[in-house]
Structure formats: C-alpha cells, structure tokens
C-alpha cells in the first residue's frame, strides 16, 4: 500500500498550473513576433535558441526516462524550458562561457559511476549509483535555482532527499559538517586540464554544508531533470540541489561525501573569500561586492528582449523551511 505524507513545503495539487494552460502560453509566445525580434539578435545559433522553446541540444550521453513521484511545488512558477536549462550553465570543469559546458562535455562518460561516503560515520560506504537509484524512491521536485550572477531558473529535478542517503552511513555524534567533492578527471574535463579553460580554479571542486543544512528536507540529490537522467553539462550523473542557496553551492558530478567536525573548504570561498562566503544563502539585502542581489533575471519561455526582472526573495522564497537554521546569526557576516 502506498502512503503519502504531506510535507510542510508542499503546495496543494490544486495550485499546480494546468499542463494545457502552460503549453498554450508557451505556444503563444513562440508564435508571436519571433521572426522580427530574432532579426535584432546577434547572428549566433545560441541566441536564436532563446526564442525556440524546448528543442533539445544534441547530447553525448543518452538520457533515459525515470520513474518518479511528482511532488507539487512550493511556488507556482512557470518552468524554464528544458532547452535553456541545459544550454545555459556554469560548470567550469568544461569551460567558463555559458555554452561551454554543453559543447565541451560531449565526450564525458558518467557510466559506470560510484561514490564514497566516509569520514565521521559508523558505516563508510562506496555506492554504485545504479544500485542507489534502484533502491531510492525517486521524486520530482520543482525548485527555483538562483545563480549568484543574478539570473534564475525554475527546474523540475528528479532524485531523492539527501538526508535519506546520509542516514545510511550512521553519522557519529562528533560530525558537524558535510563536505562534497566533484570528480577529478582532466582527460574528460578540459577545464581541469587547463587553468585558462577552467577559470584558474584548483580542482577538484569542493563544497560543504553544516550537518543541519544537509539534513534539511529541502536538500536534494538529483539524478535527473525534466523526467530524464541528467545531461553531462548539468552535473551528471549525481549532483546536489539546494534551492535556498546560490547555485554554486549545488555541486555537480559528486564522487565523495565526507563527514567532518570542522568547516570544510569550499572552492569559491578559497578563490575569493571577500565575495563568496561559506553559507551563500540567497539574500537580497547583501549585495555581491560588484553587483546588486536585490533582483534577478528569470530565464523563462520569453526571448532575449522579453525576459523578466523580478525581485529576489530572502532564501529564494524558502524562508519558511530554512530560516530557523540561521536564527540569531548575522547574515551580513555569515554570507
């Protein structure tokens, strides 16, 4: 018998935008003024794709469909079209331009894949990803993604709760933080081979969370998006998704998770500590040293000339679920 427990961040099913209405709106925008507006754009194929809707880019890895339970979203946002979500990426292991990851990841092979969970735990494990996916109940969760660069998307991720995974290794009482590490494979990731291509980062990319952040019900391990397995440029085959934090905290292509009693180093904090803190919570009141974080450019089904500029919400709109984690903290200091 299947039992479903409603969680406090779920929206009622009645709040979901009807599929027919969503498709109708998209088709209207696709058909309105496309030819005239496109003539104003730079003569690049990528620019044209912003008007094109959901046509998929060629991918090196075959993405397979995933069986999942659809969880009603907290917010009633329109989805970012899949074609845009998989072609506008920050994944410096494949290059620093937004379209580098999709172009430079076509030789990336995420199969087979295993990852390790160790450190301050009773039962360290090395897990085969296919086994994990077969055993875990997969959910589709529609989350907002807010980049520190002040653009945002709304993406349907497929995966499972991070806490459900971490509980398997039985963390010791001394554990305070969880550290994450991306695959280090310069032969497949050109940005790791060349500091010029990879933005001067010392790889592998590392990230970290406090233990209570990692165990929060919103923390999610994604193995897919838009109903299929992840494409390489979006972090195949396994990535973190933390909707209340800036996107760079959601580390991609994970090979190691380690419990520790000290705050772990994080890549962007190492590279530029005055610009990127350990917490990186979305906060419209704390500007980046070089730009405002008060608003964001929502990447949706509109074209280049019609993209929305919207106000950024504290914790990206997930304050009810996560604000208690930072009670009595000075978020201008712990940014």
pLDDT of 16 above 70:
no
- Residue 118 CA: distances (Å) to CA of 113, 148, 214: 17, 30, 15
- The residue-averaged pLDDT of 139-166 equals 98
Cβ–Cβ < 8 Å for 144, 317:
yes
* Confidence category of residue 25, pLDDT binned at 50, 70, 90: very low
CB-based contacts of 6: which residues, under 8 Å, 6+ apart? none
pLDDT of 95 above 80:
yes
Cβ–Cβ < 8 Å for 289, 274:
yes
- Residue 58 CA: distances (Å) to CA of 5, 93, 117, 199, 300: 39, 19, 33, 25, 21
What percent of the chain stands above pLDDT 70? 81
* Confidence category of residue 115, pLDDT binned at 50, 70, 90: very high
Report the C-alpha gap between 15 and 76 in whole angstroms.
7
Number of residues written out for the chain: 335
pLDDT at residue 317, rounded to an integer: 98
CA atoms within 13 A on the CB side of 60: 16
What percent of the chain stands above pLDDT 90? 79
pLDDT of 17 above 80:
no
* Among the ranges given (68-77, 181-190, 298-307, 326-335), the one the predictor scored with the smallest mean pLDDT: 298-307
pLDDT of 77 above 90:
yes
Cβ–Cβ < 8 Å for 47, 83:
no
pLDDT at residue 44, rounded to an integer: 36
> Model pTM?
0.82
Report the C-alpha gap between 96 and 292 in whole angstroms.
22
> Which position has the higher pLDDT, 10 or 208?
208
* Confidence category of residue 272, pLDDT binned at 50, 70, 90: very high
pLDDT at residue 301, rounded to an integer: 84
pLDDT at residue 10, rounded to an integer: 54
- The residue-averaged pLDDT of 315-328 equals 98
Q: Report CA torsion sign: 292, 298, 304, 308.
A: negative
Q: Cα–chain-centroid distance for residue 45?
A: 25
- 286-291: long-range contacts at Cβ-Cβ below 8 A with a sequence spacing of 24 or more? 286/331, 286/332, 286/335, 288/148, 291/150
Report the C-alpha gap between 145 and 17 in whole angstroms.
19
Query: CB count, 10 Å around CB of 148?
Result: 19
* Among the ranges given (27-41, 55-69, 279-293), the one the predictor scored with the smallest mean pLDDT: 27-41
Cβ–Cβ < 8 Å for 74, 10:
yes
pLDDT tens per residue, range 169-214: 999 999 999 999 999 999 999 999 999 999 999 999 999 999 999 9
- In the block, residue with structure tokens 């039992």: 3
- The residue-averaged pLDDT of 45-53 equals 40
* Among the ranges given (33-42, 232-241, 262-271), the one the predictor scored with the smallest mean pLDDT: 33-42
């Amino acid at each position: 018998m299947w039992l479903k427990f409603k969680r406090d961040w779920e929206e009622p099913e009645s709040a979901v935008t009807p599929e027919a209405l969503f498709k109708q709106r998209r088709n209207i925008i696709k058909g309105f003024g496309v030819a005239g507006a496109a003539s104003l754009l730079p003569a690049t194929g990528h620019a044209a794709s912003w008007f094109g809707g959901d046509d998929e880019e060629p991918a090196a890895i075959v993405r397979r469909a995933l069986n999942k339970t659809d969880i009603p979203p907290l917010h009633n946002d329109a989805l970012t079209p899949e074609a845009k979500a998989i072609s506008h990426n920050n994944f410096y292991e494949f290059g620093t331009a937004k379209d580098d990851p999709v172009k430079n990841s076509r030789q990336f092979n995420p199969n087979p894949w295993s990852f390790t969970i160790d450190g301050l735990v009773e039962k360290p494990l090395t897990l085969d990803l296919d086994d994990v996916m077969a055993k875990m109940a997969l959910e589709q969760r529609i989350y907002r993604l807010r980049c520190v660069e002040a653009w945002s998307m709304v993406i349907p991720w497929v995966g499972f709760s991070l806490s459900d995974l971490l509980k398997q290794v039985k963390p010791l009482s001394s554990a305070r933080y969880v550290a994450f590490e991306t695959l280090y494979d310069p032969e497949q990731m050109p940005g790791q081979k060349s500091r010029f291509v990879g933005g001067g980062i010392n790889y592998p990319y590392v990230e970290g969370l406090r233990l209570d952040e990692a165990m929060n019900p919103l923390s999610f391990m994604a193995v897919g998006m838009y109903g299929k397995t992840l494409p390489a440029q979006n972090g195949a085959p396994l990535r973190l998704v933390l909707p209340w934090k800036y996107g760079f905290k959601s580390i991609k292509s994970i090979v190691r998770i380690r419990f520790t009693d000290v705050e772990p180093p994080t890549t962007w904090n190492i590279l530029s500590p005055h610009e990127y803190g350990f917490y990186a919570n979305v906060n419209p009141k704390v500007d980046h040293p070089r730009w405002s974080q008060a608003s964001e450019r929502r990447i949706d089904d509109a074209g280049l000339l019609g993209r929305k500029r919207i106000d950024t919400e504290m914790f990206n709109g997930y304050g009810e679920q996560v604000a208690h984690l930072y009670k009595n903290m000075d978020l201008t200091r712990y940014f």
